[in-house]
A = this chain, B = another copy of it.
Amino acid sequence: MAELRKDPITGRWVIISTSRGKRPTDFVPETRDVGDPANCPFCYGNENKTPPEIVALRKDQSAPNSPNWKVRVIPNKYPALGIDEPLAKKGVGMYDMMTGFGAHEVVIETPDHYRPIHELSSGEIKDVLTLCQNRVEDLHRDIRFRYVLVFKNEGPQAGATLSHSHSQIIATPVTPIRVKEELAGTENYFRAKERCLFCDMINQEKDAGTRIVYENDHYISFCPFASRFPFEMILLPKYHQMDFYGSRSHVEDMAKALKITLSKLSIALNKPQYNYLIHTAPNRFSRRGYWHTIAEDFHWHFEIMPRLTKAAGFEWGTGFYINPTPPEDAAKYLREISVTD
């Protein structure tokens, strides 16, 4: 009827409801408005509608903030945190607060208004990922930033306000609580086993085979044993690496794995809205100019979460999730969809 499964990283329990066992066709995607390229600030010719670009990959020697770019990174026009705020902390009685210091950037992944990321070529996706790696590495050089998150909101139900394909990068002056949970989990595991939890998970998944979605020489994607959401996936390097920007070799394989994994998801669920995010190790650069030595027990990864179910009081109150599609079923559907790179 149902079973409880524990996420080995965070210790979070999930209810996998086998009796309901929802199939891909049980999820009806909400219709979306694709917007109008003429008014889209992410389209060619509208470069002046965004703040001046931070960096762009260009087809030619064209000037910054002019068309002919391939991937363009700009400051978010409505940033959640501001780079110009001074970083200041204070107590308010028993409470703690900080100024809203941080960075909030947007990565426009293609000049084409209508192409979602999985419809780009592997080569184009490689360019996007390389530029994201550069941004994360660059932001880590500012020691006031403790963490840098790369994420994508695909579709309005997933929080996107513009339909033109883009990702976002937010750098925060504190390490976020969800990342701390993962760091604590992998650190405890490493202490007990002297091995990386994610590397062990990859081995077990390869042995079992039932939850794997896609695999190439250096990357693998699978539906986690304790998936919170139907068709949730994790995508990560098969070799040990704690920093997203540490994975500079084999970016072709990363791009190909992302393209194929997202294409399978798009076909299986008829263009679902989704979020993905990259969990990488926190910034370890210190005031004194050297790297903090921490146990190299983290393993960077993508988390891909289709927005098919709604979190309700139970989920908010407990952190438990009720997942109506067993990950083995989801992985089987996804595996059987054939996609070419």
Residues of A within 8 A of B (CB): 1-6, 8, 10-13, 15, 17, 20, 78-82, 85, 92-101, 147, 149, 151-153, 157-160, 168, 170, 172-174, 176-179, 181, 200-201, 204, 207-208, 225-226, 275-277, 279, 303, 305, 310-320, 322
Known: A92-B225, A94-B201, A147-B318; 12 extra A-B contacts, CB below 8 A, are: A4-B97, A5-B95, A5-B97, A20-B78, A93-B204, A94-B204, A158-B312, A159-B312, A168-B313, A170-B314, A179-B319, A277-B313
Question: Is there contact, CB below 8 Å, between B8 and A94?
Answer: yes
A119 to nearest B CB, angstroms? 20
Given B8, B82, B178, B318, which contacts A1 in the complex, CB threshold below 8 Å? B82
Given B151, B310, B313, which contacts A151 in the complex, CB threshold below 8 Å? B313
With A151-B314, A157-B310 in contact, do A174 and B4 touch (Cβ < 8 Å)? yes
Number of this chain's copies in the assembly equals 2
With A94-B201, A159-B312 in contact, do A172 and B81 touch (Cβ < 8 Å)? no
- Give A8 to B147 CA distance when docked, in angstroms: 21
In the complex, which residues of chain B have a beta carbon less than 8 angstroms from the beta carbon of A20?
78
Task: Identify the closest chain B residue to A225 (Cβ).
Answer: B95
In the complex, which residues of chain B have a beta carbon less than 8 angstroms from the beta carbon of A312?
151, 153, 158-160, 275
**Most B C-beta atoms less than 10 A away, residue of A11, A79, A100, A152:** A100
23 A-B pairs whose Cβ atoms sit less than 8 Å apart in the complex:
A1-B85, A3-B98, A4-B97, A4-B98, A4-B99, A4-B100, A4-B101, A4-B174, A6-B95, A6-B96, A6-B98, A13-B174, A13-B177, A94-B204, A149-B314, A151-B313, A151-B317, A158-B313, A159-B314, A172-B320, A177-B320, A178-B318, A179-B318
Question: Is there contact, CB below 8 Å, between B10 and A177?
Answer: yes
Question: Is there contact, CB below 8 Å, between B6 and A178?
Answer: no
A75 to nearest B CB, angstroms? 13
- Give A168 to B318 CA distance when docked, in angstroms: 13
- Give A159 to B6 CA distance when docked, in angstroms: 23
With A159-B312, A168-B314, A322-B80 in contact, do A177 and B279 touch (Cβ < 8 Å)? no
In the complex, which residues of chain B have a beta carbon less than 8 angstroms from the beta carbon of A97?
3-6
In the complex, which residues of chain B have a beta carbon less than 8 angstroms from the beta carbon of A80?
2, 15, 17, 314, 322
In the complex, which residues of chain B have a beta carbon less than 8 angstroms from the beta carbon of A159?
310-315
A307 to nearest B CB, angstroms? 9
**Most B C-beta atoms less than 10 A away, residue of A11, A157, A275:** A275
In the complex, which residues of chain B have a beta carbon less than 8 angstroms from the beta carbon of A174?
4, 13
A153 to nearest B CB, angstroms? 5
A4 to nearest B CB, angstroms? 4
In the complex, which residues of chain B have a beta carbon less than 8 angstroms from the beta carbon of A1?
82, 85, 100
- Give A149 to B317 CA distance when docked, in angstroms: 8
In the complex, which residues of chain B have a beta carbon less than 8 angstroms from the beta carbon of A98?
3-6, 13
A323 to nearest B CB, angstroms? 10
- Give A189 to B277 CA distance when docked, in angstroms: 33
A166 to nearest B CB, angstroms? 11
Task: Identify the closest chain B residue to A98 (Cβ).
Answer: B4
In the complex, which residues of chain B have a beta carbon less than 8 angstroms from the beta carbon of A279?
317
